Amino acid sequence: MSRQIVVVTAVHAPSARYLPEAYTSLCAQELPGGWEWHWVIQEDGTTDDVRPYVPDDVRVTFRQGRPGGPGVARTLALAHAAGEYVKVLDADDRLAPGALARDLAALEGDPEIGWTTSRVLDLLPDGTTVGFPGDPADGPLERGDVLAYWRANDFRAPVHPASLCVRRELLTALGGWMALPASEDTGLLIALDAVSRGWFSAEVGLFYRKWDGQATGQAAHTDPVERRARMAVVEARARALAAFGWHHPAAPA
């Protein structure tokens, strides 16, 4: 029986038109023997606008729910995620070749690694891509590394949460994505960093689409009052988790 990596995608009506490109990038992934992917697409809403873009594939599950933001949609999608690992793929992004295989290699190769991220390139409207300097070295990220960098660099993480792949049990233990109007994925990343070693792949794992309708491009996302509140909650959660002393993998009883 094949083992599964579950790819979770939150989608709303404006981003649905990009699902076919995400699907193409997923179909191009080559997995190790004995592995398969299952794509769970969760609409943040109950419109009639998303379903026409959902691929007709037995490996794809489509669900809807009342609007609550991408974090709520992704967390609801976990109800349909039976695999050992959960990979994030936003509706408007594309996986790079080999991304899933590299995630699996890191997680299967070291039981102390709880999550992985990878190098991300911005995908611009004209089809060109742009990278960024300052990525970590290829290899493990020790607990607390991401928080320290994030705190010292105006709340900007050294790795991109949109490229996250995580052990399902660890993800559910932390309650999924944070209940925030934005930065819910950064909040999860910082919490994971507090309780588990991570891994960064220096090979490109994701093409992050830049377009006018994306949530992170809206004025509300950068409102300074709300942003300070979001970051305060994210940091407080991470520091509390670290102070409790629990970490992955848990010590034997």
40-76 pLDDT per residue, tens: 999 999 999 999 999 999 999 999 999 999 999 999 9
Task: Name the stretches of the chain with pLDDT < 70.
Answer: 214-221, 251-253
Residue 252, Cα to own-chain centre: how many angstroms?
29
Task: State the DSSP H helix or E strand holding residue 42, giving kind and residue range, or none if neither.
Answer: strand 35-44
Look at residue 196 and give its three-state secondary structure. coil
Name the amino acid, one letter, at 157. A
Instruction: For the beta carbon of residue 196, count every other beta carbon within 10 angstroms.
Output: 20
194-229 pLDDT per residue, tens: 999 999 999 999 999 998 876 665 566 678 999 999
Check if the beta carbon of residue 44 is closer than 8 Å to that of residue 61. Answer: no
